Structure 1
Amino acid sequence: MNSTQHLFKQLKRFGLAMALGVAAVANNAGLALAQEINFGIIATDSANVQRERWEPFFADMAKKTGLTIKSFYAPDYAGVIEAMRFNKVQVAWYGNKAAMEAVDRSNAEVFAQVMFADGSFGYHALLLTHVDSPYKTLDDVYNNAKQINFGIGDPNSTSGFLVPTYYLFAQRNLEARNIFKTVRNANHGANMQAVLAKQVDVAANNTETYEQLERTKPELVKQLRILWKSPLIPSDPFVWRKDLDPAVKEKIKKFVLNYAKSDPQEKAILGKIYNYGGFRESSNAQLIPIRQLELFKDRTKIAGDASMSADQKSKALAEIDAKLAALK
């Protein structure tokens, strides 16, 4: 073998070694990346309040799964949905309406559902006012709407927006923004504080936030009057991206489904979030009642829309009815 051939042979070996080295580094980087999970929390309250509630749970998750858990608190629900869409968040706690959006837009699926400390899997939307207000019934609200400053939830909130919009307004062919003096969107915590401070006259909320206040500041709950309570809403889901590493999914699911089954400290951590008591396995099927509710809301609005022609209305209603039939 001459010197030139020997040189080419050495270069070939060196190139192969470099290629293998680069591949190994890339593989290890991918492995490291897969072990880092960004967990999104919707803005039912301020980021500081949510951080205080959820960080002990995330610390336990990191310790028991070996994963690096990074929390993500957005100022609104859409922030978490969009972050999951672009894979900046891989796992999230959503309400059902927000979970529905994530499933449809963010390559996501439901894998678990929270259980309350009493063993139930549901909660209710509420309509609240201050005890000093003159409004004692729903009829009082409707009859005096033009004098009322109204607080409603994030547009992607189930109990703060979708449920009250359907039951309180859509069924009566009403639009909140057309009947009240003012309407402001805010999270549950902010709407609760606004009612207590008399910054709004009436606001949508839910039993999770109400009962949390009842446990922590019972003297403030005495300042609230419940004007309306909705039918039962399925409790909140945990959602992950479909393309998350199966081995990582298994670690997370095992941790979540076994959490707080017997450990008093774990039970205390969940109790401080929203009086949660554990989790059960779930799927996208839990979102079906919410999808139906959204479609019924749209159907009611279209049916009462005097600006649409008969043909337009018939076509739009037929499309919604087909979607409803597909969910049965």
Structure 2
Amino acid sequence: MTYTPAMPRIAFTAFLLFSMLSAHAEIVLGLVANRGVEETRLDWQPIADDLGQALNQPVRVVATKDEAELLASFQRGEIDVLRGSSKLALSAVEGGKGDIFARLALTGRLTEYRSLLLVRRDGPPSLDALLSQRQQWRYASGNPGSTAGYLIPQYHAFVRNNVLPERFFRSVTVGNAEDNFRALVDRRVDVAVSNSDDLPKLAEKYPRDYQQLRVLWQSPPFSYDPLVIRRDLSAATRSRIVAFFLDYGRTGPQATRAKEKLYWADQLDGFLPATNRQLREVTDLQLYDALFRLALMPELDASQRQTREKVLYRRYDQLTALLGGAR
């Protein structure tokens, strides 16, 4: 190759262009939509805009009701910051793609939620009464990827009572909190999963319909959804994103305005520091649910059952170590 005086200038120009493009690369915030997809995206966009201003980079919001779809996008590197259930976060952490850095706190500094089962006013009077009538009721479940909508009620309401919903109910449909609320009001189902976070918002949105329903059962308390950040982002970008969320609505001249945006996004008060250890709540539930299902598989002989149990306990031990140990 023949050297010319213009080559250093060309190389410098290319480097400068690359640096400018890198500096303004898009950051993507991925959200599970517990309400409408477009509604969720629009409600969070003002927060994303403030993040973009802090980073001097454009920030785009994507939302979906499908947690599996969201996880796949995160694993492909198409999403940089993820807000989803603890079960979704566990998959991201276990796959080596992300780490928890914050968790949601709601208005009033609420840091925990409960899963709920809803019925109509004329529905069964108690969970015991419901579980005494097999193949009688139609059930609206959360997505299998959801902690509040699936894993928590699956174990605490059903598995602990020796019930598998797919065998017990006359029919099982799947949706988010709003989908299930509407299905119950419209008498397409008889029992619907909700949670103590989304139900007050639905009561505000549908006050007359809410009066037709009541809470049949509630779970023990669990930590609110985590925020997960991609591990392969640069250290500087990660640090700035973490600082933005933990400070948002708490410090600076725009804190009051930020509080308003948080409230309209999800009735949030802000974000609290968190680590991967928060996911220990979910690992126990997953193990108990899997062991119960295994016990109800008559096609397996003792040797096959023992082999599968070993696999389950091996993964459980690996996750426990990954998340900081048993204590």
- When normalised by structure 2's length, the TM-score is 0.89
1:85 shift after superposition: 0.9
Aligned partners of 1:234 and 1:278: how far apart in 2? 14
Aligned partners of 2:51 and 2:18: how far apart in 1? 27
Secondary structure at the counterpart of residue 146 of structure 1: coil
RMSD after superposition: 2.1
Counterpart AA for 2:180: N
Render the CA deviation track for 1:122-175: whole Å, top value 9, x for unaligned: 101101111133x12112322334132210011110010111111223233432
1:288 alignment counterpart: 280
2:122 alignment counterpart: 132
Counterpart AA for 2:13: G
Secondary structure at the counterpart of residue 147 of structure 1: coil
Render the CA deviation track for 1:189-220: whole Å, top value 9, x for unaligned: 11111112222111111111112123444443
| Shift in CA distance, 244/16, structure 1 to aligned 2, threshold 3 Å | same
Aligned length: 317
| Shift in CA distance, 114/14, structure 1 to aligned 2, threshold 3 Å | same
Aligned partners of 2:298 and 2:161: how far apart in 1? 14
Aligned partners of 2:297 and 2:39: how far apart in 1? 41
1:315 alignment counterpart: 307
1:91 alignment counterpart: 81
Counterpart AA for 1:159: A
> Among 224, 228, 231, which residue is 1:242 paired with?
231
Aligned partners of 1:57 and 1:30: how far apart in 2? 22
1:74 alignment counterpart: 64
Identity across aligned pairs (percent)? 25
Unpaired stretches in structure 1, ≥5 consecutive residues: 1-7
Q: Is residue 48 from structure 1 mapped to residue 38 from structure 2 by the alignment?
A: yes
**Does the CA-based 8 Å contact 2:246-2:272 persist in structure 1?**
yes
2:268 alignment counterpart: 276
The higher radius of gyration belongs to: 1
Unpaired stretches in structure 2, ≥5 consecutive residues: 321-325
Counterpart AA for 1:147: Q
**Does the CA-based 8 Å contact 1:85-1:106 persist in structure 2?**
no
Aligned partners of 2:43 and 2:75: how far apart in 1? 25
Moved more, 211-220 or 195-204: 211-220
> Among 88, 94, 107, which residue is 2:97 paired with?
107
> Among 195, 205, 211, which residue is 2:200 paired with?
211
Flag the structure with higher helix content. 1
Q: Is residue 200 from structure 1 mapped to residue 189 from structure 2 by the alignment?
A: yes
Aligned partners of 2:147 and 2:112: how far apart in 1? 12
| Shift in CA distance, 81/13, structure 1 to aligned 2, threshold 3 Å | same
**Does the CA-based 8 Å contact 2:41-2:62 persist in structure 1?**
no
**Does the CA-based 8 Å contact 1:82-1:106 persist in structure 2?**
no
Aligned partners of 1:174 and 1:108: how far apart in 2? 34
